[in-house]
Amino acid sequence: MSDVAIQVERLGKQYRLGGPRAGYPTLREQIRTWTSPRRLLRRPARTANRPPFWALKDVSFEVRRGEVVGIIGRNGAGKSTLLKILSQITEPTTGGADIHGRVGSLLEVGTGFHPELTGRENVYLNGAILGMRRVEIARRFDEIIAFAEVEQFVDTPVKHYSSGMYTRLAFAVAAHLDPEILIVDEVLAVGDVQFQRKCLGRMGEAARSGRTVLLVSHNMMAISQLCHRAFWIDQGTLKATGPARDVVNQYSAAFARVAEGDLTGAVGQGDGRVLPLDYRVTNCRGEPIPLPVTNEDVLVHVRLRVREPIRQPVYGLEVQNEQGVRMLCVNTAELGAELPPLGAGEREVRVRFKQVPYLPGVYRASFWVMNPQGHIYMMTHADALVFEIGQSRLYGTRDVDHRWGCVYTGVEVDCDDLAPRTVSMPEQSSQVAVHDRG
């Protein structure tokens, strides 16, 4: 048997952009074309001048049996497209991929769940969709339910589940697949912190059991800890491969010293009322600084285009370090800040970090605008804003990195003298009296 589990040769995937006006005719146009005797002459020619979009281009690699490989890259780099091709959901435009072994794919948690069915029924339905036989599902049913922590609600329709319960059950089903090759796309972020640890533990078990695992994640710590090797995909091409920690360090270093950036197209979710334009990092006086350092004030300016006035805006910010650890997640409503209305037009929001506590390294941030009820007008991707904190004279040295921890703070140290004291005892004569009762 070959030692290679996945062999990819010069893989490419091409898409056309723009919907109906970019070459995908509407149903009405298609019917008119099909019923016309001159249908070959009526094919729309309006896409002739539009260049194609290559989601992947000339990607080649191989993964050996038992390897755990992480795939990293920015949003839109082509990671998910690669996994869909390997899972045989979509076909490549050029090249090909040979898969040796049974494949289990965790590409979208909850695919196939029906809201009217109970948790029990959805376990069997979803398991079948993912390729499990009924006897396998029955054998592992109790284990799946216990992993998801929904024993009390197993016979309740999932439409009554909270979002956390829903995602926990969906991941539990997918996590109990027993394939030779496991393909996982960004599903380790489901549920609360405790459940995320269980998910990571489950991925670790799969790695130790000798399965071949492909893992896409923005959690650099998970990639470094779980994976033997990593692939960095950038704009559809394979930019770097090698030991996981080395590739993660290259990926993080590529965004170092970023003091400004374009945010158009960086929207993760929202209703379109607010659009991000760009951002820049300055000192507290608004002056550009190429590299802020730990323990100094930093100002992040985010420029927005507001289409409709917002009466009670709430601004939120999340910051992660280069290992994917969440360093901060806060919004102005939680801080009790009362902010003026956000008028229509171009506006700039400034976020001030007072004596920024982060140790030297690369940090990624997400920014959002919502209302007090939690409705999101705009939220950027998790890694849309990138900035680096540089070295400064902390602890009497300039060589401080993540091995020293995550944050810096002033600590006061006091000491009491608790040394044992020598106590001199006065000399006393010993006398023994003997009484003769004879």
DSSP of 192-235: -HHHHHHHHHHHHHHHHTT-EEEEE-S-HHHHHHH-SEEEEEET
pLDDT tens profile 36-68? 555 444 444 454 556 788 999 999 999 998 899
Q: Which residue has the higher pLDDT, 410 or 118?
A: 118
Question: Does residue 34 register a pLDDT over 80?
Answer: no
Question: Does residue 201 register a pLDDT over 90?
Answer: no
Please indicate, yes or no, if residue 8 is contained in any of the structural domains.
no
Number of H helices, E strands in the chain: 8, 19
Looking at the fold, whether 171 and 235 belong to one and the same domain comes out as yes
Last-in-domain residue among 389, 414, 433: 389
Last-in-domain residue among 204, 237, 254: 254
Question: Does residue 207 register a pLDDT over 80?
Answer: no
Least confident range of 12-26, 132-146, 248-262: 12-26
Looking at the fold, whether 107 and 249 belong to one and the same domain comes out as yes
Question: Does residue 149 register a pLDDT over 80?
Answer: yes
pLDDT score for 226: 80
Looking at the fold, whether 225 and 77 belong to one and the same domain comes out as yes
Confidence of residue 387 (pLDDT cuts 50, 70, 90): confident
For residues 335 and 351, the answer to whether their CB atoms sit within 8 Å is: no
pLDDT score for 316: 92
> Beta strands 376-380 and 267-269: pairing type?
antiparallel
Give the separation between CA 333 and CA 342, rounded to whole angstroms.
15
Looking at the fold, whether 241 and 269 belong to one and the same domain comes out as no
Average pLDDT for the chain: 79
pLDDT score for 348: 92
Please indicate, yes or no, if residue 194 is contained in any of the structural domains.
yes
The torsion of the CA quartet 218, 224, 230, 235, rounded to 10 degrees, works out to 30
Looking at the fold, whether 201 and 104 belong to one and the same domain comes out as yes
pLDDT score for 138: 92
pLDDT score for 110: 63
Q: How many domains does the chain have?
A: 2
Report which residue type is found at 240: A
How far apart are the two ends of the chain, measured CA to CA in Å? 104
Looking at the fold, whether 214 and 298 belong to one and the same domain comes out as no
Looking at the fold, whether 288 and 332 belong to one and the same domain comes out as yes
Q: What is the CATH number of the domain that holds 156?
A: 3.40.50.300
> What percentage of the chain has pLDDT greater than the value 70?
78
Q: What is the CATH number of the domain that holds 293?
A: 2.70.50.60
Looking at the fold, whether 136 and 75 belong to one and the same domain comes out as yes
Looking at the fold, whether 142 and 168 belong to one and the same domain comes out as yes
pLDDT score for 22: 47
pLDDT tens profile 57-113? 999 999 998 899 999 988 788 998 998 898 888 899 999 999 888 787 777 666 678
Looking at the fold, whether 198 and 281 belong to one and the same domain comes out as no
pLDDT tens profile 391-409? 665 665 555 666 677 787 7
Looking at the fold, whether 273 and 243 belong to one and the same domain comes out as no
pLDDT tens profile 188-197? 555 556 676 7
Nearest CA to 317 out of 251, 268, 380, 390 is that of: 380
Please indicate, yes or no, if residue 403 is contained in any of the structural domains.
no
Domain of residue 250 covers 63-254
Last-in-domain residue among 234, 254, 274: 254
Looking at the fold, whether 185 and 202 belong to one and the same domain comes out as yes
